[in-house]
Structure 1
Amino acid sequence: MPISIDGNLFSLSTQDTLYQMQVDEYGILNHLWYGPKTGMSMSYLNQYPEISFSGSLADTGTRRDYSLNDRPLEYAEGGMTDYRTPALRIVHPDGSSALDLRYAGYEVLNHKPGIAHLPASFDRSLQTPTLKITLKDALYPIFVHLYYNAFEKENVIARSVEIENNTDHILSLDKFSSLCLDLPDGDLEVLHFHGRHAMERLKERLPLGFGTFRFESRRGNSSHQHNPAVILAAPHTDESHGACYGACLLYSGCYQVEVQKDQLEQIRLVMGLEESTFHWKLKPQATFHSPEALLSYSNQGFEKLSHQFHDMFREHVIRSTFVHRPRPVLINNWEATYFDFNGQKLIEIADSAKECGIDLFVLDDGWFGNRNSDTESLGDWHVNEEKLGMPLADLSKAIHDRQMQFGLWIEPEMVSEDSDLFRTHPEWVLWIPGRYPSRSRHQLVLDLGNPEVVEYLYQTFSKLIRENSVDYIKWDMNRSISDFYSSYLPEQRQGELAHRYMLGVYELADRLTTEFPEVLFEGCAGGGGRFDGGMLYYFPQYWCSDNTDAHCRTQIQYGTSFFYPISSVGSHVSAVPNHQTGRVTSLKTRGTVAMAGTFGYELDLTLLSPEQREEVRQQVQTYKTLQPLIFDGDYYRLSDPFDHDLAAWSFVSKDGLQILVQSVIYEQKPNVRFPRIQLRGLKRDVWYKQLDTGNVYTGAALMDGGLLLDLPQGTDSSQTLQFVRMDQEETSE
């Protein structure tokens, strides 16, 4: 059983890991262990001598070897004798902020409930039980409910927290975290994924020193700058060896991650809502539930940790029916035309795409209102028939008549000042009274914390999808939030805006994806600015980055792969010279890189030569054959593209029968040996055949000896190699 309770000892077990907590003699819930299975209680490790200047709880009497400041706590409330970073902070009406949380009981639910208004992991079989542990403040009837789910096969623990105010006064909830994890080993390093627009999720690995390492987003979205996920690893951990812990927040708004190393070299990880943009007024008899966080542990390096998260997302987070279905190869007109197009030009691009075997035509920005630049008409979601030269429904029909699907770009959350929507409803915009609004990309932000705005957007886009037979929606968000003020909320509740905004986004996404389950939704936020577990709950794929340069994309996709499955990565072939970097790479290399994702094109196919269009046709055909392996196989990072001039990765099917190896070499150097890569995830004593050459290798040879790649020709060189596992009869022949 994944949940075991023995007196005051609580254990959660997955296939390979054990998570353990225990209530001590003072009713404090201690964290005991998270790591490999041990087959016993780990409480014997929870012993401490007297530590000077560590205060004691009042009911410990004269005892001097017990302090909350030293003990590993399951959920640290702060304000009593723990001086470390708290997971929770409440301000009472008298101005005090202390909580003294003691164990009040537990409950085991026979299924995993959802979290109202928030994305959360699920079990379609309804067989994953939930452990609910309740803590109560020693003075006030304030309850904190800790929720745990052990996903056995994926080796993932899902955690969330609910606070219940049964007092007769309003509480100010000023910090609320989804998880707190205390670890006894301070010799750890932190891996986080930072970046900027067009260069997201770049891996940085740092040793943990004393004090607090913190990163966050105050931008109203999870941001290009930091991703809400973190890894703690032993110093020598690599892809296939060593211990590491991963934590990922299923939330798309303002968040924070804190990793603290204390005086005893213990580590505390706290992850949850960003405290400077969160101040929630919790009314009497009301509850508040945190976003959910996912935890996973591996003692076999980063790749196993990634496989566990990939499987978790595919099976228990991405709820779309598309998660295991074939997905269309698309052509997007943005980099082909930008705002300069008409219906006939779009149909010409679609005709060329059809000849190449492409399945889906996507009309990007500029089809509505008076939208001929990014300074106007955002929010005016009525079709510009004069520009198209036809109704949108006619364009959709023309695409469908070519046996292709029709997709549309929208940006629901934003509005131009030069728009009918803004002129009609200025009160729907986030705008601080008495101040000029800040602008980004000439846009203002609609107040999705206002239910009236959410309802308007739902009615607008559901009608648009229905009336135009839309098969695909690209939902974009092209600016961060800075003016945190809502005319909808009263003065004393303005601190709730950042979270209420995300609740509105989630409600709109939930209603649209529920009403249109056969429409493929792809998220986007200036590229990968909101690529996180919260959005993947609603959208099975997300535009990975606005940077489509093949060289940069290998680095961006490398960092993305540590937590998020390849099937969620929007990746396309674009024109050269690349519109972001000016770099010229071959069509072959651009195709190789884009195949490590959902695959599509962002260029004007009508400008390609017949030979290039034939190459595109071959790429599309190859990708469609390989898509099941790319989407559902185990992904291996075979090189670090930041440390070498080589990016290499592979996919191994779950049954071990198929292997796909892809690589890109960036720089040609004279008088060098053939580059060599070593595969992983194969059976050592099994033979594998390389399909293009017919050569056969043992798994041991491919993993220990490796493969020799071609020398690069020019500025880039890419290869795609396929192997199949041979049975014993074929080998003997």
Structure 2
Amino acid sequence: MSKAVAVLALGVWSVCGSLSIDAKSAKPQAQQAASIHYDEAHRVFRIDAGKITYAFGVNGDGALQTLYWGSRLAQDDPVGPAVPPKSWSSFDSIGANTPQEYAGWGGPITVMPDLKLHFADGNRDLILRYDSYKIDKDGLHISLRDAKANVTVGLRYTVDGDTGIVGRSARIENHATQALTIDSAAAASWNLPPATDYSLRYLTGTWASEWHVRTRQVTPGATVLESRRGSTGDENNPWFAIERGGAWNESHGRVWFGALAWSGSWSIRIDQDVLNQVRVTGGYNPFDFSYRLKPGEALDTPVFYAGYTDAGIGEASRLMHQFETTRVLPQAPRPKLRPVLYNSWEATEFKVNEPEQERLAEKAAKLGVERFVIDDGWFGARNSDHAGLGDWTVNREKFPNGLKPLIDKVHGLGMSFGIWVEPEMVNPDSDLYRKHPDWVLNFEGRQRTEGRNQLVLNLARDDVRDYVFDALDQLLSKNDIQFLKWDYNRNWTEPGWPQLSPEEQQKVYVVYVQHLYDILRRLRERHPGVEIESCSGGGARVDLGIMGLTDEVWPSDNTDPSDRLSIQDGFSYAYAPAVMMSWVTGSPNWVNERQSSLDFRFLSSMQGGLGIGAKILEWTSAEDATAQHYIAAYKDIRATVQQGRLYRLLSPQERAPYSATESVAADGAQAVLFAFLRQGQEAQAYPTLYLQGLDPNARYRYRSIHGEAMPGTPAVASGAYWMSHGIDLKLRSDLDAAGLVFERVGS
């Protein structure tokens, strides 16, 4: 769209937000409409949504400059015009540190650019200037251009009217007559007001020890969160939260937060410059990255989502949870509740066969399980992790008549049927690899490093993408399957693509993930009744990109219920309980040999999507009765747990002895409290728990799933009582737990 046309293009876009629940009163509040407005006189763009305002403008140099991002302003409050920071010295001249929305590397710039490239003729200078805009039902579109280089960057802004979360992405187009190579490309940069008292919160981990919450001061220089592993990775997760003031907690403090929707190698960089400006830049990881664009070609970046709240990190998490369930998940805005699941891995490992799986299914159904999942070992020559990956045909020694008899049995017991797959991998000992050794990531003539006895298929190749899709499509077409547990159990090594020219090979980092998304998207279109779990040796591929195409995720292979308290707590900072699967497995736990009661294991797992992975054929009748009790109780509360508003009351981080969470239903009618004591200390009483998010004027009756309140606790009291007076629980011994349900009985 030309400048002249853009001015006439209805400078305002709006959408009505839905009803939301005020955290203090639990009463429905009419959300303000979201709007995108262009002020032609001051050349300022302004986004108002939820409780935020986001504004940027075109400065005198033609750059797109951030002006404001924070609590919602009045419509007539001024936010412009855009004026670049003054020159600091000859080393930092005017424009060098301008907080640009999307900066090319060129001219006097010293901030981290969003886009760096070079042309075939050696030019590396790129100066992006505002060209035009368009506002439509999909949001705001802005065109930046380097007229001399003939490169354009299309910026897209989307906004969620309920949460105020803004999504940003870029499309880089080569309109020149020569090829160019992109050296680094971000989806967006987010600029915060200048200050010296910011702190950063982020998530780190490793296999079986994911989702640790870390906090550090933001100081001059850079902090880089990243994965160079080919996939999201659990070393860092592509989520951040930044607070100003140093006194932030669950319910207080200004918090800017965001997450990158990308399932490949990624980078989020937090810079503080010489003017104390803080800039968060996220997108493709520039390590080993190169993307060549021939004349007329383009590259689309991932989407970088971000939001703001002045009500603390707890509210930041709740806004993310709401955004994920209503905007990101495949079934949004009303995703299905996660069924109670049984997975056979711990019971049988690779020794799966039809009779044993049928016995497990019969027992699971008696317990109240709703979905039965057969794990690894059902296909090819898969008797261990040394062979069979890639050969997605049923092992007829284990299942002489195929999967149909087992599936029919499971359905006849009233459960849906699921199955494990790892379609992006191949064992060297497989028919697929023997036929197509060139289908894996590799550098020609170099070693091929195995991980878990397997190699990574090069999904960027069209033939590999087509093979994987066809294999899964046939599996789902020939069998009445409702669920895929999609696993991914190693990092990339030797990420070569020998079939392409050397200057094209590093496209693999982008095209691989694009093809992964394409497979998932097409499978969902062909088989709309099938749900999918993203698993990667636990939580190594959890991000808003994969969540847009899968229904649930597996946070960790560590199923120890005490460790899971910390894992699940960290997970909840960025991602919703609606997608978090948690299993009850055996005791002592295989990870650390820790013993725990079945009560503790169930209550720990009931904070997300409940699953069972234990050797249930060995359970006693008393254990069966315990499991039936908790499964029935969970079905009564799962809508609140999975899709309600989560409050973290006591943090289990840093091996703290206590953990407590509360979930409040969207309509405020039910609240569920889980409390855990990892280790009793010197006969100390468990801390008083102060509930949150209830209607202070309504009355709530509590009942126990497990555990007791201290004597004298009223059976019915006002929301104000439970929030201000609190409740004391009888938790004294190691690995003790309680679960209480509060029901609104009147106002």
TM-score (normalizing by structure 1): 0.93
Distance in 2 of aligned mates of 1:83 and 1:493: 29
2 CA distance for matches of 1:588 and 1:270? 45
Q: What are the equivalent positions in structure 2 for 1:330-369 lying under 5 Å apart?
A: 330-369=341-380
Which of the numbers 654, 659, 667 marks the counterpart of 1:655? 667
Which residue is equivalent to 1:153?
Answer: 162
The equivalent position to 1:140 in structure 2, one of 144, 149, 152, is 149
How much has 1:408 moved relative to structure 2?
Answer: 0.5
After TM superposition, give the deviation of residue 547 of structure 1 in Å.
0.5
Residue in 1 that maps onto 2:455: 444
In the TM superposition, 1:13-24 aligns within 5 A as: 13-24=48-59
Matches within 5 A, 1:200-349: 200-234=210-244, 235-320=246-331, 324-349=335-360
1:340, distance to aligned residue in structure 2 (A): 2.0
Q: Is the 8 A contact 1:678 1:705 kept in 2?
A: yes
Question: What is the alpha-carbon distance in structure 1 between the residues aligned to residue 547 and residue 81 of structure 2?
Answer: 41
The offset of 1:45, in angstroms, is 8.7
The 8 Å contact of residues 324 and 632 in structure 1, kept in 2 or not, is answered as no
- In the alignment, which of 401, 407, 416 is matched to residue 412 of structure 2? 401
Does residue 568 in structure 1 map to residue 579 in structure 2? yes
1:392 maps to 2:429? no
One of 152, 162, 166 as aligned partner of 2:175: 166
Amino acid at match of 1:255: W
The equivalent of 1:463 in structure 2 is 474
Equivalent in the alignment of 1:4: 37
Please say if 1:194 is aligned against 2:231: no
Question: 1:691 corresponds to which residue?
Answer: 703
Instruction: Check 1:169–1:564 CA distance in 2 against 1; reply closer, same or farther (3 A cut).
Output: same
Contact persistence 2:97–2:111 (CA under 8 A) = no
Check whether the contact 1:477–1:524 (CA below 8 A) recurs between aligned residues.
yes
Cα shift at 1:5: 0.7
Per-residue CA deviation, residues 671-692 of structure 1 (Å, 9 max, x unaligned), is 3224322221123343322134
The worse-fitting range, judged by mean Cα deviation, of 477-486 and 704-713 is 704-713
SS in 2 for 1:510: helix
Give 1:628 shift: 1.2
SS in 2 for 1:275: coil
Task: Give the match for residue 701 of structure 1.
Answer: 721
Give the counterpart letter for 2:496 in structure 1: Y
What do residues 373-423 of structure 1 show as CA deviations (whole Å, max 9, x unaligned)?
A: 101111111111212354212221222222222111000000000000000
CA contact (8 A) 2:56 2:82 kept: no
| 2:116 equivalent to 1:92 | no
Query: Cα distance 1:595–1:364, how it changes in 2: closer, same or farther (>3 A)?
Result: same
- Against the structure 1 CA distance between its residues 322 and 38, is the aligned structure 2 distance closer, same or farther, given a 3 Å change threshold? closer
Question: Is contact 2:696–2:719 with CA below 8 Å preserved after alignment?
Answer: yes
AA of the residue aligned to 1:143: T
Change in 2 beyond 3 A, CA 1:199/1:511? same
CA contact (8 A) 1:260 1:269 kept: yes
Shift of 1:220: 0.7
Aligned length: 699
Deviation digits for residues 568-589 of structure 1 (CA, Å, limit 9, x no counterpart): 0011111111111211111111
Percent of residue pairs identical: 31
In terms of mean alpha carbon deviation, does 437-446 or 84-93 score higher? 84-93
- The amino acid across from 2:723 in the alignment is M
Q: SS at 1:391's partner residue?
A: coil
Instruction: Give the superposition deviation at 1:94.
Output: 2.5
2:78 equivalent to 1:29: no
Contact 1:675 1:710 in 2 (8 A): no
- Please tell me whether the aligned partners of residues 84 and 95 of structure 2 are also in contact (alpha carbons under 8 angstroms): no
Hey, what's the Cα distance between the residues in 2 that align with 1:566 and 1:689?
A: 25
Distance 1:725 1:403 in 2: 33
Aligned counterparts of 2:524 and 2:582: Cα–Cα separation in 1: 22
Give the drift of 1:96.
Answer: 2.7
Amino acid at match of 1:659: A
**Cα pair distance change 1:101/1:478, threshold 3 Å:** same
- The residue identity in structure 2 corresponding to 1:216 is E
Q: Using a 3 Å threshold, how does the CA distance of structure 1 residues 422 and 36 change in structure 2: closer, same or farther? A: same
Taking the TM superposition and a 5 Å limit, the aligned residue runs for 1:557-636 are: 557-636=568-647
What's the C-alpha RMSD, in Å, of the aligned pairs? 1.6
The yes-or-no answer on 1:672 pairing with 2:671 is no
SS of structure 1 residue aligned to 2:98: coil
- Give the residue type in structure 2 aligned to 1:654: A
TM-superposed deviation, 1:694: 6.0
SS in 2 for 1:561: helix
Paired residue for 2:80? 43
Contact 1:429–1:444 (8 Å) recurs in 2: yes
Q: Flag the 1:69–1:703 CA change in 2: closer, same or farther, 3 A.
A: farther
* AA aligned opposite 1:100: I
Once the two structures are TM-superposed, the CA of residue 53 in structure 1 deviates from its matched residue by 2.4
1:274-324 deviations in Å (ceiling 9; x for gaps)? 001321001111221110111110000011111111111111111137953
Whether contact under 8 Å (1:218, 1:254) holds in the other structure is: yes
Q: What residue number does 2:108 align with?
A: 81
Shift of residue 144, structure 1, vs aligned partner: 1.0
Correspondence for 1:115: none
Report the counterpart of residue 98 of structure 2 in structure 1: 71
1:547 aligns with 2:558: yes
Q: Secondary structure at the match of 1:388?
A: coil
SS of the residue 2:458 aligns to: coil
Q: Distance in 2 between matches of 1:689 and 1:398?
A: 42
- Cα deviation, residue 667, structure 1: 0.4
The answer to whether the aligner puts 1:184 opposite 2:156 as a matched pair is no
CA distance in 2: counterparts of 1:98 and 1:44, whole angstroms: 27
Partner Cα separation in structure 1 for residue 331 and residue 432 of structure 2: 31
- Tell me if structure 1 keeps the 8 A contact 2:85–2:95: no
Change (3 A) 1:641 1:46: farther
Shift in alpha-carbon separation, 1:323–1:411, aligned structure 2, 3 A? farther
- The one-letter code matched in structure 2 to 1:173 is I
SS of aligned partner of 2:240: strand
Q: Could you tell me how far apart the structure 2 residues matched to 1:286 and 1:699 are? A: 59
- The Cα shift of 1:466 comes to 1.9
CA contact (8 A) 2:486 2:534 kept: yes
| Distance in 2 separating the partners of 1:354 and 1:454 | 37
1:518 pairs with 502, 510, 529, which one? 529
Q: Deviations over 1:17-72 (max 9, x none)?
A: 1000111122111110000122222237957443112455xxxxxxxxxx122322
Asked if 1:716 is matched to 2:726, the reply is no
C-alpha displacement of 1:232: 0.9
Please give the per-residue CA displacement for 1:227-274, whole angstroms capped at 9, x wherever unaligned. Answer: 111111121111101101111011100000100011111101100000
Q: Give the distance between the partners of 2:675 and 2:148, measured in 1 at CA.
A: 62
- 2:739 maps to a residue whose letter is T
Residues 443 and 495 in structure 2, CA contact (< 8 A), matched pair in contact too: yes
Match of 1:412 in 2: 423
Matched to 2:53, the amino acid is: L
Unaligned stretches of 5+ in structure 2? 1-13, 15-34, 705-712
Taking the aligned partners of 1:68 and 1:686, their CA distance within structure 2 comes to 56
SS of residue paired to 1:581: coil
Residue 432 of structure 1: CA displacement?
A: 1.2
Distance 1:322 1:197 in 2: 32
Asked if the contact 1:361–1:406 (Cα under 8 Å) also holds between the matched residues in 2, the reply is: yes
Amino acid aligned to 1:92: F
Q: 1:286 to 1:316 in 2, by over 3 A?
A: same
Does the 8 A contact of 1:89 with 1:176 survive in 2? yes
86-95 or 319-328: which moved more?
Answer: 319-328
Give the residue type in structure 2 aligned to 1:152.
Answer: G
Match of 1:731 in 2: none
Which of 497, 506, 509 aligns to 1:495? It is 506
The SS at the match of 1:22 is strand
| Aligned-residue offset at 1:536 | 0.7
Give the TM-score, by structure 2 length.
Answer: 0.91
